[in-house]
Structure 1
Amino acid sequence: MSDAQPFGLLIVDDDKSMRQSLLALMQAAGWQAEAVPRADKALEKLGEMQPDVILSDVRMPGMSGLELLAQLDRDFAPPLVLISAHGDIPMAVEAMQAGAYSFVEKPYEPRRLLTILTHAAEQSRMKASNVRLKERLFALSGLDRVLLGQTPSVTALREEVLDLSGLDAAVLILGETGTGKELVARALHDLSARSDRPFLAVNCAALHPDSFEAEMFGVSGGPEGRLQTASGGTLFLDEVGSCPPAVQAKLLRVIEDQRVYPVGSGVPVNVDLRILSATNEDVDQAVSEDRLRADLLFRLNTFVVQLPPLRQRRDDLSLLASHFLNEYARMHEVDGPELRHEDMAALLAHDWPGNVRELRNVCARRVMAARRGGGSFASALAGDLGAEDVPDTLREAVAAFERELIGKAIKAHAGRMDAAAEALGIGRRTLNEKIVKLGLNKDALL
């Protein structure tokens, strides 16, 4: 047995002599085995012990073995092996289709039964180990903080991101504005084997055909292009649906060949890049309208991740709002406002066209108003910051607001820029650009 801990078996059979025979066999094989005479007793027993396998008779008074199988939660229950003296092929087929691990006829051959139960137990242990590993990875990666929520769609999304992070295949991330596409892309990179290499985010809408090659491929005799410096890491093509047609052809060649030609050079330079992309567009419509090359799409959509809009996960509103309120309250060193009944009513009544990003901003406005001793979520949703200390122009107000939030985030996270960017709900690249634009001095803030 591969594990130091003996395998555990729960035997369910109404025949006392059969129970005793099976108990003797399993105990002689070094297993920890217990037996009950009825299926309903087995369900009670599962609450007390956690066996690796269940071995159940098919025909018993009350609940049958097949009915017991139907009562088990397939995601969490151990595998079930059915045993019966009345078995036939149709019953075996029905049992396997219903989710049974295997089917054994009485009188059983001890060696064959032990082999089947051992394989089932090993599979059960492996499944439990994988679940624990994923839980540890979630905790280590912060996925449960990056992709916060408890609705089934978000839970499934975290599982999907964790699974895809271990692959090197292209992933296309679809979702409305503000659903967190760059956060998902960065999580895919941070959890991958490329995490110690660069994450290069490229805004495709800002690319220009005339300057694309020099910027991305570099110039012969000059500095390397951005793709060469990011080699070994991840290339994230944001807003790929807005990429100029001429640039799409050049990107396609890079993705296909994994090499670039610096401007003025006929010698290719090999690059090694995992390709992630994102768009809020309907990609099939973009292809039909000749705005997105079909051959480029086929290189990008090996796997597709669809992010749910906030209006489809309203059960997460309370959790998300509380998280963002506490985050911004900590940045501003104030007590976060409590979520009242009327606040939740306002949040639930809103359609959230800006999704999670919009909710972050609303919570930031709510905390700003709370600093002045007032405010409500209704006014925060309306964009009302209050009359005091607000600059005269919109541009000045936005800059002042961003300057204060970014400064507080950098200070709260002791200069750790990735953590500050995550708290603000923006990418690290965007944060760096805003620091330069707003003239912030990071060292002076610490």
Structure 2
Amino acid sequence: MQQENTLVAAAENAAKPWGSYSVLVVDDEPGMVNFIRRALEVRCGSVHTAGSVEDAEPLVAQQRFDLIVLDISLPGMSGVNWLKQLRERGVNSEVILMTAFADVETAIDALRAGASDFLLKPFSLAQLINSARRAFERARLEAENWVLRREVASHASRSHVSRDGLIGHSPAIAELRTLLQRFAPMPSTVLIQGESGTGKEVVARALHQQSPRANASFVPVNCAAIAQELIESELFGHVKGAYTGATGSRDGLFYYARGGTLFLDEIGELPLPIQAKLLRVLEERRIRPVGSEQEIKVDVRVIAATNKPLADEVAAGRFRADLYYRLQVLELHLPPLRERTEDLPELAAHFMDLLSPALGVQPVEVEPAILAAMAAYDWPGNVRELKNLVERSLILGYVPRDLPCTRAAGSAGPAGEAAANLAGADECLAEVENRHIRTILAACGGNKSEAARRLGISRKTLERKCLAWGE
């Protein structure tokens, strides 16, 4: 008995908390059902029971179970035959089969039907707990693999997004870092607002990585990229027959993000009916798959982002006020690049280091004069536009001088005048370059290695220029 208790304790310590998992026990022996229910209900979110396949069918039709503990010998349809039907219908729950009369042929048939484990009656509490733990671990790994495959497919069709956090040391970024450190450990919802290309997903990932949920899934979804008629199913899942074409059950993004973070980008694009359902989920922490009568408890932190001022969307009647205030528990405003141009050298160097190995080319040098012209540019595409410039420069082998962000007369107004002065004459350009380098050197306390890194040039180039100035 003591050994069994030790095994149970070890199994529980090794397991991920099971509070969000749901279990269905199907057996016609009341004593066995009671034993399994009592063992699992103190560890899992919910445990349902049925005495036959016919009694279990309505339960499976109503909700998604993470684990089904199923007896082979049942009145009516056998457990193995029902398992085959479930797999054919697309029900991918983990299944533990039980039997009191096991032989090799029965075990092989169970595995072929899609069982994840096999228990021979009578089994101990430790055996049951360990089997359930392995099943939940497989479910967790499968969910993580699904998220990773989804991200790989997404990244294959879009530009690289840094996962290393924020780049730069400007006052705006320093303040953002401080807020990130305060917000990350909290379970509260976060609303990130900022212009397109300012790095909202980077910030969302930083919040996730610095939170207690860092070891769980980060699931990003672009609300504007999903057809309106499919958004509800994509977020909450659906059961078989929920709508035309729903030939099987499917889990939603909330399910795959359990224990982790769901990042809803472009949340301002959600239709009003879905906004109402999302508000209910945030309030009650339960989701209801499309076509289901059963609610599923979920533990998910939601981070939302938008490039639209949501207050204006609320005033225009395109976004629910109650959802806006529910999302606005914690709020972050990302500064546009034009308000943090002192970060340009670090950002350019970061993208250079990031992209040159991926493209298989050598980094190119960004001259101080080019950086000065870039600092005078308005950057309507923000950090994403800068990344595209770096990528183009790496492919060409030099920084193009005929782009709005690098040519002298790149914009109108005071910034345009400053840029125009750069092209006045070689002597004027040299003066701007000299002044810019001296400013960076002073900011680095004379450290040439750090100054060269911020300038996006090699230390050798910096030393050559200083030598030419007699320094």
Give me the TM-score of the superposition, normalised by structure 1. 0.50
Does structure 1 residue 317 correspond to structure 2 residue 336?
no
Q: CA–CA distance in 2 between the matches of 1:306 and 1:151?
A: 15
Q: CA–CA distance in 1 between the matches of 2:237 and 2:399?
A: 52
Q: CA–CA distance in 2 between the matches of 1:235 and 1:331?
A: 28
Give how far 1:145 is off.
Answer: 4.6
For residues 334-380 of structure 1, the C-alpha deviation after alignment (integer angstroms, 9 at most, x for no partner) is 4322221331233123210011111011011111111xxxx334235
Corresponding residue to 1:213 among 217, 232, 245: 232
2:402 corresponds in structure 1 to 379
The answer (yes or no) to whether the contact 1:217–1:262 under 8 Å persists in 2 is yes
2:304 corresponds in structure 1 to 277
Query: Would the alpha carbon gap of residues 229 and 281 (structure 1) be closer, same or farther in structure 2, given more than 3 Å must change?
Result: same
For residues 107-145 of structure 1, the C-alpha deviation after alignment (integer angstroms, 9 at most, x for no partner) is xxxxxxxxxxxxxxxxxxxxxxxxxxxxxxxxxxxx995
Q: CA–CA distance in 1 between the matches of 2:379 and 2:312?
A: 24
User: Which 4+ stretches in 1 moved above 6 angstroms?
Assistant: none
The answer (yes or no) to whether the contact 2:364–2:399 under 8 Å persists in 1 is no
Does structure 1 residue 268 correspond to structure 2 residue 295?
yes
Higher RCO (CA-CA < 8 Å; seq separation 6+): 2
2:152 corresponds in structure 1 to none
Q: How many residues align?
A: 238
The answer (yes or no) to whether the contact 2:189–2:302 under 8 Å persists in 1 is yes
Does structure 1 residue 347 correspond to structure 2 residue 370?
no
Query: Would the alpha carbon gap of residues 144 and 155 (structure 1) be closer, same or farther in structure 2, given more than 3 Å must change?
Result: farther
Query: Would the alpha carbon gap of residues 377 and 242 (structure 1) be closer, same or farther in structure 2, given more than 3 Å must change?
Result: same
1:69 corresponds in structure 2 to none
The answer (yes or no) to whether the contact 1:175–1:181 under 8 Å persists in 2 is yes
1:180 corresponds in structure 2 to 199
Query: Would the alpha carbon gap of residues 380 and 246 (structure 1) be closer, same or farther in structure 2, given more than 3 Å must change?
Result: same
The answer (yes or no) to whether the contact 1:219–1:263 under 8 Å persists in 2 is yes
Structure 1: give runs of 5+ residues left out of the alignment: 1-142, 385-446
The answer (yes or no) to whether the contact 2:377–2:405 under 8 Å persists in 1 is no
Q: Percent identity?
A: 42
Does structure 1 residue 167 correspond to structure 2 residue 186?
yes
Q: Which residue type is aligned with residue 266 of structure 1? A: E
Query: Would the alpha carbon gap of residues 229 and 381 (structure 1) be closer, same or farther in structure 2, given more than 3 Å must change?
Result: same
Give how far 1:303 is off.
Answer: 0.7
Superposed counterparts of 1:45-64, under 5 Å: none
Q: CA–CA distance in 2 between the matches of 1:202 and 1:319?
A: 29
Helix, strand or coil for the counterpart of 2:402?
Answer: helix
Superposed counterparts of 1:403-442, under 5 Å: none
Give how far 1:295 is off.
Answer: 0.4
Superposed counterparts of 1:226-237, under 5 Å: 226-237=253-264
Give how far 1:381 is off.
Answer: 5.2
Give me the TM-score of the superposition, normalised by structure 2. 0.48
Query: Would the alpha carbon gap of residues 245 and 365 (structure 1) be closer, same or farther in structure 2, given more than 3 Å must change?
Result: same
Query: Would the alpha carbon gap of residues 155 and 383 (structure 1) be closer, same or farther in structure 2, given more than 3 Å must change?
Result: closer
Query: Would the alpha carbon gap of residues 263 and 334 (structure 1) be closer, same or farther in structure 2, given more than 3 Å must change?
Result: closer
Q: CA–CA distance in 1 between the matches of 2:169 and 2:322?
A: 37
Superposed counterparts of 1:248-263, under 5 Å: 248-263=275-290
Helix, strand or coil for the counterpart of 2:192?
Answer: strand
Give how far 1:209 is off.
Answer: 4.5
Q: CA–CA distance in 2 between the matches of 1:150 and 1:382?
A: 22
The answer (yes or no) to whether the contact 2:190–2:303 under 8 Å persists in 1 is yes
